[in-house]
Structure 1
Amino acid sequence: MPETRAGTAASDLVLASVRFAGTTALRNVHLRGGLVSRIAPAGDAAGLPPGVPVLDLDGRYVIPGLWDEHVHMTQWALAAHRIDLSGAASAQSAADVVRSFAAQHADDGMPVVGVGFRDAVWGDVPTLELLDGATRGLPTALLSHDLHCVWLNSAASARYGVPVDATGLVREEPAFELTRMLGQLPDAVVDGWVREAAQTAAARGVVGVVDFEMTWNRPVWLRRIAGGFDSLRVDAGVYPQDLDRAVADGMRTGQLLDGGAGLLRVGPLKVLIDGALNTRTAYCVDPYPHGGRGLLTVSEGELLALLVRARDAGFVPAVHAIGDGANEVALNAFQAAAIGGRIEHAQFVRTEDLPRFGALGVTASVQPAHALDDRDAADSNWAGRTDRAFPLRSLLAAGATLALGSDAPVAPLEPWLAMSAATTRNGRDGRAPWHPEQALTRREALTASTRGRGTVRVGDPADLAVLDGDPFAVSEAAFAAMPVAATLVAGRFTHRGGL
């Protein structure tokens, strides 16, 4: 079948002899003009349009294409080319990993960048002295897994003009600014890495992402699409510092930005109002064991003003709120502004606030893999209250709409991993499931990963994934590593594995 450039629809096509998840009947799915135009029994030969290519899928399963509702696409692409510290069990072991790398690259003169450390569960603590002793004077910056903290050595502090204390740590906005500086590589290099990451995502059935990269993202994505990027749809978020520019340009959430290509749209307005669990900066009602309640970085009054501005300008707000105190503040502001939207993360929610998501029309944009990655940090910092941490079942039962994502690079851009985490609450590490009462069914997880579609219907975009097994029937291991035979965006193959 001929393929087309960018997001334009391919020629008409019939996907023949397919099944839908949880069913056994064979069907033919007709694609026309980038949409699902007809669904008929597989034996309905009379309904096959003359001259239209027919691809026999031999009983494979077709589902709506998957969306990752929260990624930092450039950071995800960069992470694959940085030192992986996710396995470091202590500050000392992280320093040892960096020491080995620095010994091999002492003559390169290039900064050393690592990603993925989790100091919230370490028995020791990061220090400037420890990192200086491991790095041979090479400028070194290590990004925490949640991106809210960076551990620097003295050489990096001097190079980037970022002052540090004896810990070597910077948090929140200084960490974000440093992360942006570390990503300033040649466009051609970064764009190539992003294209590779997107192709990998397409091979897992992903058709779209909501990109919350902390930058003015419109020109970046237009450049990438003009340069040949065509694997995914992208909803590019806007941050408050760029809202005036976006409004002046007539932008609004959902607006198509790349014309006929059809891949790039304006995403939500992203507002961060607290920190993260790993850095103990998520804003909570009760104090942390070490003291303090975290950080509320945007007051309720300031947030209300932003939501009113978003409402009047046609932007859907997406409010980062992790702690239960931050979620309460966010919901209060949504209610006062009389606007729906999204809360990103909703990791820790007061019981009385759960029904407010549904009542206010606020989507819970959640990342199920975090529940497994952060269970130890949650148990130690929110002890006795983790029955309402990562409360997926409670949110759904209270009427909330769920949207699943990864927050890549915090967790991998891998929707089957996210769905497996949501349905098992088990990281396959031999430990008992963590709060299994908060698990979703596979059908619920799939619906939350396909923008509410759940199954293929006439009139839907021809954004589809073709699977080698029934996602509602395969084993847990097979579900988490689901084999994807093909992925289509607007009826055009973005991944075709052996068909």
Structure 2
Amino acid sequence: MIVNKVVKALITSGLFLSFTSYAQTSLISNVSGYSVNDGVLTPFSAIAFEGDKVLKLYGKDEPLPKKESIVYIDGEGQTMLPGLIDAHGHVLSYGLSLMRAQLRGAESESEAVKRVKLFRDAQPELNWVQGRGWNQVLWPSKSFPSAKSLDKIFPDTPVWLIRIDGHAGWANSAAMTLSNINAQTQSPEGGEIIRDASGQPTGVFIDKAMSLISQNIPSLTQTEQRAVLKLSMKELSKLGLTSVHDAGVGNDTLEAYLSLAKADEMPIRIYGMLDADDRHFSELMKQGPIRLPEHKLDIASVKISADGALGSRGAALIEDYSDQEGNNGLLLYPEGEMAKVMKLAMESGFQVNTHAIGDQANKLVLDNYQDLIKETNTGELRHRVEHAQVLRLEDIPRFAKLNVIASMQATHATSDKNMALDRLGSERIKGAYAWRRLLESGAVIAAGSDFPIESANPFFGLHASVTRQDQQNRPENGWYSSQSMTLTQALNSFTQGAAYAAHQESLIGQLKPGMKADFILVDQDIFAIPASELWQTQVNQTWIDGKRIY
């Protein structure tokens, strides 16, 4: 463990000294600027900043200062927004997804296999072939895939393909043989090995059963992790993201982040959630939160997973799935164990961010929060529910009452609309993806994407938030459109709301005097175009701390 030494070195090093008072003032004019400041949409036409801080916003008819000492930059009529914040993504996985077989959108099992073959043909040196993004709901059969289809192309090379939601994996026989998987292998608690009629594993592993395969894949070295993280952050900055809440940072990845921070090689801000499943978790709790002076890297929260995902029927429901009698999903912790992990994190000063998708998981998490927040006196830590996807209507007001944040991903609704009603039925769906109900109850929503499960492009999320439609404008008038957000609410959820969810609302998420000069310039005025075109917005420039990084 090198975490303590690295942190001390970072805090005492000169790399993180604030900008000096001698920094020159810059002024970008000729923009259509928008910021949701203290909940109110604030338009502006110019912004002045010095070093890493905003000095002033200028209204449309407000005269600009005429000083020779100011650096003037023509915004060329572009639209300026605060740097967008993704409150739930997976940075290492995103970087790896850029380097693995891409299965998102494959319309059949055979198409997915063909894509893996093309990837393998271009990467013949790989010992393991890995990929991500398959979704059997899009296939004609709607059935899970099997090892047999992979075995025809890959009889000897192990293959491991992660489902789009990250809660199921698809292996070939070579991978199962290397992992000693056979008919006698038992499913672990919180996971399931899918079997055929004769009891043989089919090649699909759900939730905690995934580790039966993944634990046999060689781990990345520190050098490899740093390279993947840098690639990932660089690509995310091109999408207009200036900050990301990384949902599930293990000890090895934490060390890689700290090494990058020490070398001043963090392109964007990272707010990390330590992975509760990491074998060093207890030791990391003893060390306490990490907050570096310039807030390029803050590690002040933990990520716990209560259940699986809806698409793989791993989300824990109170009643059975409407389309599969006898199955109500998976809780990933034995009774009482999750509360022990939560309590340890709370008592160690960490915000607790718990993945909960099904109504049973959400109720259990809120019940635990209700008891533990009172016991540990940690209401001010603003604990979170990650996804908060399927809620009982009576649980919705509990978020505001408990000061618990709903960390939600709008594109999940537009991706899940093809199967969610089948899974949940006409009554439970009323509390699913219920953004408007949560906002009207007083809850704070922090928006994200859950990349690489969904696209990391935040404009896809803004579009889904407002329209409740896919990019082909389906369904007409939106899917359960009564739960849509206004564009101001949606922008707020990707800026101030997400910043608040990381205790950073005094630093980022708004453009006003004293805040960090994190902003983006885009190619169209999102408040002047049809909502159906929001997803087409392109980022031209990304600035962090008053410096252009893209």
Report the TM-score when normalising by structure 2. 0.81
**Residues 109-118 or 296-305, more deviating:** 296-305
Q: CA deviation at 1:95?
A: 3.2
- Match 2:172 to one of 116, 135, 153: 153
- Match 1:246 to one of 284, 288, 308: 284
Distance in 2 separating the partners of 1:232 and 1:106: 30
Against the structure 1 CA distance between its residues 158 and 177, is the aligned structure 2 distance closer, same or farther, given a 3 Å change threshold? Answer: closer
Against the structure 1 CA distance between its residues 46 and 399, is the aligned structure 2 distance closer, same or farther, given a 3 Å change threshold? Answer: closer
Higher relative contact order (CA 8 A, sep 6+): 1
CA contact (8 A) 1:148 1:176 kept: no
Distance in 2 separating the partners of 1:109 and 1:28: 51
**Residues 81-90 or 110-119, more deviating:** 81-90
Distance in 2 separating the partners of 1:409 and 1:7: 34
In structure 2, the residue corresponding to 1:383 is in which secondary structure?
helix
Q: 1:130 and 2:149 equivalent?
A: yes
Q: CA deviation at 1:294?
A: 0.7
**Residues 473-482 or 6-15, more deviating:** 6-15
Map 1:282-321 onto structure 2 (within 5 A). Answer: 282-288=315-321, 289-290=323-324, 291-299=326-334, 301-321=336-356
Q: 1:458 and 2:513 equivalent?
A: yes
Distance in 1 separating the partners of 2:242 and 2:58: 24
CA contact (8 A) 1:6 1:263 kept: no
Distance in 2 separating the partners of 1:234 and 1:106: 31
Map 1:141-220 onto structure 2 (within 5 A). Answer: 141-161=160-180, 165-176=200-211, 178-179=213-214, 182=217, 184-216=219-251, 217-220=253-256
**Residues 159-168 or 303-312, more deviating:** 159-168
Distance in 1 separating the partners of 2:178 and 2:350: 38
Against the structure 1 CA distance between its residues 25 and 440, is the aligned structure 2 distance closer, same or farther, given a 3 Å change threshold? Answer: closer
Map 1:80-479 onto structure 2 (within 5 A). Answer: 80-99=98-117, 101=119, 104=121, 108=125, 110-120=127-137, 122=139, 123=141, 124-161=143-180, 165-176=200-211, 178-179=213-214, 182=217, 184-216=219-251, 217-227=253-263, 229-240=265-276, 241=278, 242-249=280-287, 251-252=288-289, 255-257=290-292, 259=293, 262-288=295-321, 289-290=323-324, 291-299=326-334, 301-338=336-373, 339=379, 340-384=382-426, 385-429=428-472, 431-432=474-475, 433-452=478-497, 455-479=510-534
**What are the superposed Cα offsets for residues 222-260 of structure 1, whole Å, 9 maximum, x if unpaired?**
2233455332000111122444222322x22xx424x5x
Give me the identity figure in percent.
27
In structure 2, the residue corresponding to 1:87 is in which secondary structure?
coil
Distance in 1 separating the partners of 2:422 and 2:42: 46
In structure 2, the residue corresponding to 1:282 is in which secondary structure?
coil
- Structure 2 segments unaligned to the other structure (5+ residues): 1-13, 36-40, 183-192, 194-199, 374-378, 498-504
In structure 2, the residue corresponding to 1:382 is in which secondary structure?
helix
In structure 2, give the amino acid aligned to 1:210: H
Against the structure 1 CA distance between its residues 467 and 371, is the aligned structure 2 distance closer, same or farther, given a 3 Å change threshold? Answer: same
**What are the superposed Cα offsets for residues 68-122 of structure 1, whole Å, 9 maximum, x if unpaired?**
11111111111112112222333344334435555x3696463221211113454
Q: CA deviation at 1:271?
A: 0.8
Against the structure 1 CA distance between its residues 181 and 221, is the aligned structure 2 distance closer, same or farther, given a 3 Å change threshold? Answer: farther
Distance in 2 separating the partners of 1:61 and 1:92: 43
**Residues 461-470 or 181-190, more deviating:** 181-190
In structure 1, give the amino acid aligned to 2:136: D
Distance in 2 separating the partners of 1:494 and 1:99: 36
Q: CA deviation at 1:54?
A: 2.0
In structure 1, the residue corresponding to 2:312 is in which secondary structure?
coil
Q: CA deviation at 1:488?
A: 1.5
In structure 1, the residue corresponding to 2:524 is in which secondary structure?
coil
In structure 2, the residue corresponding to 1:131 is in which secondary structure?
helix
CA contact (8 A) 2:33 2:46 kept: no
Distance in 1 separating the partners of 2:66 and 2:211: 54
Residue-pair matches, total: 486
Distance in 2 separating the partners of 1:153 and 1:191: 30
Distance in 2 separating the partners of 1:424 and 1:142: 32
Q: CA deviation at 1:7?
A: 9.6
**Residues 7-16 or 294-303, more deviating:** 7-16
In structure 1, give the amino acid aligned to 2:467: T
In structure 1, give the amino acid aligned to 2:317: C
Partner of residue 79, structure 2: 61
CA contact (8 A) 2:466 2:531 kept: no
Partner of residue 74, structure 1: 92
In structure 2, the residue corresponding to 1:376 is in which secondary structure?
coil
Distance in 1 separating the partners of 2:531 and 2:261: 37
Report the TM-score when normalising by structure 1. 0.88
Against the structure 1 CA distance between its residues 98 and 363, is the aligned structure 2 distance closer, same or farther, given a 3 Å change threshold? Answer: same
Q: CA deviation at 1:308?
A: 2.8
In structure 2, the residue corresponding to 1:141 is in which secondary structure?
strand
Against the structure 1 CA distance between its residues 326 and 183, is the aligned structure 2 distance closer, same or farther, given a 3 Å change threshold? Answer: farther
RMSD of the alignment, in Å? Answer: 2.9
Against the structure 1 CA distance between its residues 174 and 223, is the aligned structure 2 distance closer, same or farther, given a 3 Å change threshold? Answer: farther
Against the structure 1 CA distance between its residues 198 and 324, is the aligned structure 2 distance closer, same or farther, given a 3 Å change threshold? Answer: same
Q: CA deviation at 1:166?
A: 2.6
Q: CA deviation at 1:357?
A: 0.9
Q: CA deviation at 1:135?
A: 1.7
